[in-house]
Amino acid sequence: MSDVLPGGADRKRLSVLLPLVVQPRRRDARPPPCRWCGAASWWNGWRETFPVVAPAVASVVERWQLALPLGKCSCCHRAFTCYPPGVYPRRHYQLDVVAEVVAGVALGSEPIAHIAATVTASSTSARRWTAWVAALARAGELVAAAAQVDPSVATVALPSPSVARHPRAAAVLAGLEALGTALVRVGVAAVERTGLGRVLGWQHRRHGDVYGVVRGPRSFSSAMAHGGRPTTT
């Protein structure tokens, strides 16, 4: 496969090759209260999305047709999107898909284009995701946060730099796995299957933080783990 990035439209169309799974429309009877002013809100329609997801079944990647319910505040009139657990905002390729590609790039020996092709992504995307993960956090801080969340967690052996194609991304992924495992062990519900998905998904559900490749905060702070165990909400 060529390393040349196809044009924007072609690149978006690559995932069309994946099987499309139509998800049923689901929403609660009422939307949550407005997160800016706390007033009651009402449902305000749906937004159609087509995320590429890695469901719980291992080594399967699917494209979903997923309608996201939209809410609107009755007081400040701000509109917002409600995301079901496991769906991360502003990501075509969802976090578990990204994590598995980055693991292959960082630790594997297969050509990057082949790894990217397994999820219909370009090698440029795979490289961009790898750089994003590498810059997302310090591996040592993630391991420390994991020990803080769950003191019973065993010492995590970070991968040896000499064996990794991208040592920093490999170390950050290992740190995210440790923290994600610790969060699951203390009872934080997680439908994601990778550390990256679990940790960022939990941050989003708990604090509303969104870490984007091109927008939003770029660097993850493990200060979120301070103050002891996370709540299970």
Buried b / exposed e over 95-114, threshold 16 CB at 10 Å, is bbbbbbbbbbbbbeeeebee
Least distance to Zn ion from the beta carbon of 205, Å? 19
Q: Does 40 bind Zn ion (CB under 5 A)?
A: no
Least distance to Zn ion from the beta carbon of 228, Å? 31
Q: Does 34 bind Zn ion (CB under 5 A)?
A: yes
Q: Does 73 bind Zn ion (CB under 5 A)?
A: yes
- The footprint of Zn ion on this chain (CB under 5 A) covers a number of residues equal to 7
Could you tell me if 62 and 15 are in contact, meaning their C-beta atoms sit under 8 angstroms apart? no
Q: Which of 1, 5, 20, 37 binds Zn ion (CB under 5 A)?
A: 37
Dihedral pair phi/psi, residue 43, rounded to 5°: -75, 145
CA 73 to chain centre: 27
CA angle 58, 63, 68 (to 5 degrees): 115
Least distance to Zn ion from the beta carbon of 208, Å? 14
Q: Does 163 bind Zn ion (CB under 5 A)?
A: no
Judged by CB under 5 A, the chain residues 75 through 134 that form the site for Zn ion are 75-76
CA 217 to chain centre: 14
Least distance to Zn ion from the beta carbon of 70, Å? 14
Could you tell me if 140 and 179 are in contact, meaning their C-beta atoms sit under 8 angstroms apart? no
Q: Which stretch binds Zn ion (CB under 5 A): 34-42, 121-129, 171-179, 191-199?
A: 34-42
Nearer to Zn ion, 36 or 42 (CB): 36
Q: Which stretch binds Zn ion (CB under 5 A): 27-35, 82-90, 97-105, 176-184?
A: 27-35
Nearer to Zn ion, 82 or 186 (CB): 82
Q: Does 21 bind Zn ion (CB under 5 A)?
A: no
Could you say which DSSP state residue 224 is in?
G
> Assign residue 41 a region: left if phi > 0, alpha if psi is -120 to 50, beta otherwise?
beta
Nearer to Zn ion, 187 or 208 (CB): 208
Q: Which helix (H) or strand (E) holds 103?
A: helix 95-107
Please name the residue that has the structure tokens 């009651």.
40
Least distance to Zn ion from the beta carbon of 207, Å? 18
CA distance 222 to 146: 9
Least distance to Zn ion from the beta carbon of 196, Å? 31
Binding stretches for Zn ion (CB under 5 A):
34, 36-37, 39, 73, 75-76
